[in-house]
Amino acid sequence: LSLGTASDLLKKYEGGSVLDFGDAIICPGFVDAHTHFPQLQIVGSFGETLLGWLDKYTFPEESRFVDGNYARQIAKRFIREMLRNGTTAAAVFSTSHRQATEIYCEETLASGMRAVVGKCSMDQNAPKQLLKSIDRDVEDLEALISQWHGRDDRIFCAITPRFAPSCSEAMLNELGSLRARHPDIYVQSHISENLEEIDMVHDLFPNDRDYLAVYERFNLTGPRSLYAHGVHLTDDELKRMGETETALIHCPSSNAFLGSGLIDLRRVERHNVPVAFATDIGGGTSFSMLRTQLDAYKIQKLGHRVIHPVELFFHATLGGATTLKLDHLCGNFSIGKSADFIVIDSKPGDLLNDRLHNSLDPDEKLFALATIGGSNYIDKVFVQGNCVHERL
Ligand SMILES: [Zn+2]
């Protein structure tokens, strides 16, 4: 409604109720641009790289989501964990089950969060119980889109081929047609995360010149297309992503944990590719977008580059919202947006408290939040002006 100094607003809304957060830091809710709700229980699984990790941990766990009760229990816990960490908007992968995806949408709506949600499409290279026929998959997606897409300006649907190797050409073709029928729908997937995976894509799609070309051929790039990782993309692929506004979602914790590689974010930016940051639970190991900023900083530092604290913070808030095309609804405190914000508070004697009080420069304070701050300092979380999490 309004934005201004306390004294002006108190005059304007005289007699209204006031929430006073004292010296605490109030900041916009975080945006997590890529995460997997069915992977809550496999966070921190030991020892594998991408393809082994999918076979050994991910596919067996995702198979359990055929059970609606289990899906609901995990959806509730996953959303609670995001809110506890100050994340108020996210782009989320479900499993290939329609019911589990509907349940996730219901729980998101009930929580007040905002989410782009996608039922995974897979018809090959995964256990049978996770595969769907093309007809069944498209029927499920059409139903989800008509029921959920745009609901309350808070739930948006994404066509979600898990990654190119999970889908036959016929399935990718149908997903591209579905996208053409619903031009405002999102697309989310993975790209060039791991060298073995890239070899697999070359073997499966030998006529495409590179990984991105597979998605391009099937109308799965362009605005509202969100591709996670992109660690090993070529300059030519990045150039095409930039030209078509196809986004790269950087998942630093996951890239380090699964040993996928060190991306050069400056190279991505040189090609004007839209970027957002993400946790990628459960390849990533933390729900915190503060921790994610620190991990992003460390990954660039290992490549002898630095990211400025403001840039880190931007990618986790307004930058993420912009890349997800949600910046007219959330991402900062502009008038007309949802009051989705978090209150970060530390007590005298806490390391964060010392660091904040010893830093005069706002950039240093932001960097202290990213390096030392964490969910334990998030005192309250609000979505649409309602308090949905309070630290005990
Ligand atoms: Zn992922």
Could you report the per-residue pLDDT of 258-306, keeping only the tens digit for each?
A: 999 999 999 999 999 999 999 999 999 999 999 999 999 999 999 999 9
Do 303 and 262 touch, CB atoms closer than 8 A? yes
Near ion ligand 1, which residues have CB within 5 Å?
Answer: 228, 280
Give residue 36 CA to ligand 1 midpoint distance, Å. 6
What is the per-residue burial (b if ≥16 Cβ within 10 Å, else e) of 240-269? bbbeebbbbbbbbbbbbbbebebbebeebe
> Given pLDDT bands bounded at 50, 70 and 90, which one contains residue 358?
confident
**Per-residue pLDDT tens for 222-271?**
999 999 999 999 999 999 999 999 999 999 999 999 999 999 999 999 99
Angle at 220 between CA 234 and CA 59, to 5 degrees: 85
Give residue 336 CA to ligand 1 midpoint distance, Å. 32
Give residue 24 CA to ligand 1 midpoint distance, Å. 33
Q: Is the pLDDT of residue 113 over 90?
A: yes
SS3 label, residue 159: strand
The pLDDT value given to residue 255: 97
- In percent, the amount of the chain with pLDDT more than 70 equals 100
**Per-residue pLDDT tens for 173-200?**
999 999 999 999 999 999 999 999 999 9
The pLDDT value given to residue 8: 93
The pLDDT value given to residue 392: 85
Contacts of 305 (CB under 8 A, 6+ apart): 264, 265, 266
Give residue 249 CA to ligand 1 midpoint distance, Å. 10
Give residue 35 CA to ligand 1 midpoint distance, Å. 6
Q: Is the pLDDT of residue 2 over 90?
A: no
Place of tokens 């530390």: 346
The pLDDT value given to residue 183: 96
The pLDDT value given to residue 213: 98
The pLDDT value given to residue 302: 97
The pLDDT value given to residue 184: 97
Dihedral angle over CA of 198, 200, 203, 208, nearest 10:
-40
Give residue 44 CA to ligand 1 midpoint distance, Å. 14
- In percent, the amount of the chain with pLDDT more than 90 equals 93
Give residue 392 CA to ligand 1 midpoint distance, Å. 31
**Per-residue pLDDT tens for 37-96?**
999 999 999 989 989 999 999 999 999 999 999 999 999 999 999 999 999 999 999 999
Q: Is the pLDDT of residue 360 over 90?
A: no
Stretch 326-350: mean pLDDT, rounded?
95
Give residue 163 CA to ligand 1 midpoint distance, Å. 9
Give residue 161 CA to ligand 1 midpoint distance, Å. 11
Give residue 240 CA to ligand 1 midpoint distance, Å. 22
**Distance set, CA 39 to CA 61, 76, 241 (Å):** 7, 13, 28
Give residue 365 CA to ligand 1 midpoint distance, Å. 31
Give residue 6 CA to ligand 1 midpoint distance, Å. 42
Stretch 347-361: mean pLDDT, rounded?
88
Q: Is the pLDDT of residue 310 over 90?
A: yes
Give residue 272 CA to ligand 1 midpoint distance, Å. 22
Stretch 316-340: mean pLDDT, rounded?
97
